[in-house]
Amino acid sequence: MTIEETVDRAPNGLHDAYLLGVSIDYGLRTASFRIKWDIGMVNPVQTEGHIEGTLSVSGLQYLVIEPPWKDNRYEAATYGYDEPSYIDGYVTRDDDVQRLSLPEIPNTASRYSLFVGAWNSFIHFAGTSAEVAPADLLMG
């Protein structure tokens, strides 16, 4: 599955999720994102909550972590840097590709971006496939 297809199968995508960590294996060309996924409103019994899981991207083409925005006092004061940051995800926009001079990718790969709230900046990456563990986190 593409990154977008995988994320879209999570109960709320990456909306109201929290980033716990990022790791890269250059030899295997993989990136792993440890995430607290929002599972609220999945069923009438459980209206809120999070489950820790991992989004793994294979066939990694690039991973760019933008530095925190120079004036992010509000985010730092509100969320702190010693706690996981809320994130949201989206298919990387063409203007991001141009602004950052992101490399060309093969037709078999897809681009994706994460907004990191505490930094008020983004992580951009591309890969050929993605999966989530635990797999039962995905719907459908």
Distance between CA 134 and CA 136 in Å, rounded? 6
pTM of the predicted structure, to 2 decimals: 0.86
Distance between CA 25 and CA 27 in Å, rounded? 6
Summarize the confidence of residues 28-36 as an average pLDDT. Answer: 97
- pLDDT, one tens digit per residue, over 62-121 is 999 998 876 655 555 555 556 788 999 999 999 999 999 999 999 999 999 999 988 889
**pLDDT score, position 60:** 98
Q: How confident is the model at residue 16 (pLDDT cuts 50, 70, 90)?
A: confident
- The kind and range of the H/E element at 49 are none
